[in-house]
Amino acid sequence: MLAKKRPVPPKIKKDARPMTVQPSASDLTASSEKNLAAPRWRREEVVRLFELPFNDLLFQAQTVHRENFDPNEVQVSTLLSIKTGGCAENCGYCNQSAHFDTGLDASKMMEVERVLAEARQAKEAGATRYCMGGAWRSPKDRDMPMLAAMVTGVREMGMETCMTLGMLSDSQVATLKEAGLDYYNHNVDTSEAYYDKVVTTRTYQDRLDTIERVREAGIHVCSGGIIGLGEDEGDRADMLMTLANLPVPPESVPINMLIRVKGTPLGEGDNVDSIEFIKTIAVARILMPTSMVRLSAGRQAMSDEMQALCFMAGANSIFLGDKLLTTDNASVSHDEALFAKLGLRPMPLAR
């Protein structure tokens, strides 16, 4: 008879620094200066994580996850398009760009009351964060009073607020902060080196500048990227390293799987490899241990098994609702069934 061998868990590599502690926003100045001299993560460390055997990477990511979060809680957000289409930017994946003919009907900014009615419904469905997205290069100053009223109204319902409106000036950031905005979303999308293959109407630095402006005003940052733009693993490593090495890493890191939309430059192409996507989630979790890593666009094309592996890799936030701005999302009933199957619970609001 064969003797039973005790399984040996894979070792966590010391040099991968799974327990990196992220600085708080109040550490910003000191850490910013320090960061210039010594980035929190070096490129070879990030590349080494991507090169780990899949099981070792997942074990390491899940270990980091458990040290910082309840592994069975997932934060639930809802996203609403408050101004659709007609955007002056030319992001190659986006059906809201005015540069591409995708058949999408552009619309003006929604009235405040309608946004608040939608937010009320989202709250009843279990959302604790309400995200509002406007397809702009940057909003006009005349739009700011209405945007501020949306933020204040949603906050009064007891939900966290998030907006994504494009580039912001200092005074626009100040208006949103005063209205009570909790998070501002501004994705870096991909690596700096690959950026001009995706969008040419702005630079990577423009993106980083708005993120810095938002951070300095004391608004939490939500910033992540998209997998499937034609980038390679090195670009994914660079993108995550950029985010993790910001003076204060984003509190929320959405990782999107490209939804190909006909009529956009990235509308045709191969599907993203599931394992590559899950690895990106795992590396994001290890690099930014205390951030919410959000499994964002593309979930409707993922199997339950793939989503379960993403949660195992450290994803702990999703968008709930049948629509994500203008593209389809997994249905609410499917998500409820998936949560029940996996024993997941919505994360309560920490306020």
x/- site string to ligand SF4, residues 141 to 180, per CB under 6 A? -------------------------x--------------
Distant-in-sequence, close-in-space partners of 273: CB < 8 Å, separation ≥ 6: none
Instruction: Find the catalytic residue in 91, 129, 202, 207.
Output: 91
Interface with ligand SF4 includes 135 (CB under 6 A)? yes
* Choice between 207 and 220, CB closer to ligand SF4: 207
Cβ contact 319:294 at 8 Å: yes
- CA 63, 67, 68, 69 torsion-angle sign: positive
Interface with ligand SF4 includes 231 (CB under 6 A)? no
Instruction: Find the catalytic residue in 40, 129, 213, 222.
Output: 222
Least separation in angstroms between residue 293's CB and ligand SF4 is 20
Burial class (CB in 10 A: 0-12, 13-18, 19+), 155: middle
Give 192's Cβ-side CA count (13 Å radius): 10
Give 42's Cβ-side CA count (13 Å radius): 8
Selection from 130, 87, 88, 84 nearest residue 110 by Cα: 84
Burial class (CB in 10 A: 0-12, 13-18, 19+), 145: exposed
Interface with ligand SF4 includes 226 (CB under 6 A)? no
Instruction: Find the catalytic residue in 40, 129, 162, 310.
Output: 162
294 is catalytic: yes
310 is catalytic: no
Cβ contact 23:248 at 8 Å: yes
From the list 20-28, 90-98, 242-250, 334-342, the region that binds ligand SF4 by CB under 6 A is: 90-98
Instruction: Find the catalytic residue in 202, 285, 294, 299.
Output: 294
Q: Which residues inside 92-121 make contact with ligand SF4, applying CB under 6 A?
A: 94, 96-97
Cβ contact 261:325 at 8 Å: no
- The number of residues that bind ligand SF4 (CB under 6 A) is 8
Least separation in angstroms between residue 90's CB and ligand SF4 is 7
Q: Which of 45, 89, 231, 238 binds ligand SF4 (CB under 6 A)?
A: 89
Selection from 78, 73, 127 nearest residue 342 by Cα: 73
Q: Which residues inside 245-274 make contact with ligand SF4, applying CB under 6 A?
A: none
Instruction: By CB under 6 A, name the binding residues for ligand SF4.
Output: 87, 89, 91, 94, 96-97, 135, 166
Catalytic site positions:
87, 91, 94, 131, 162, 222, 294
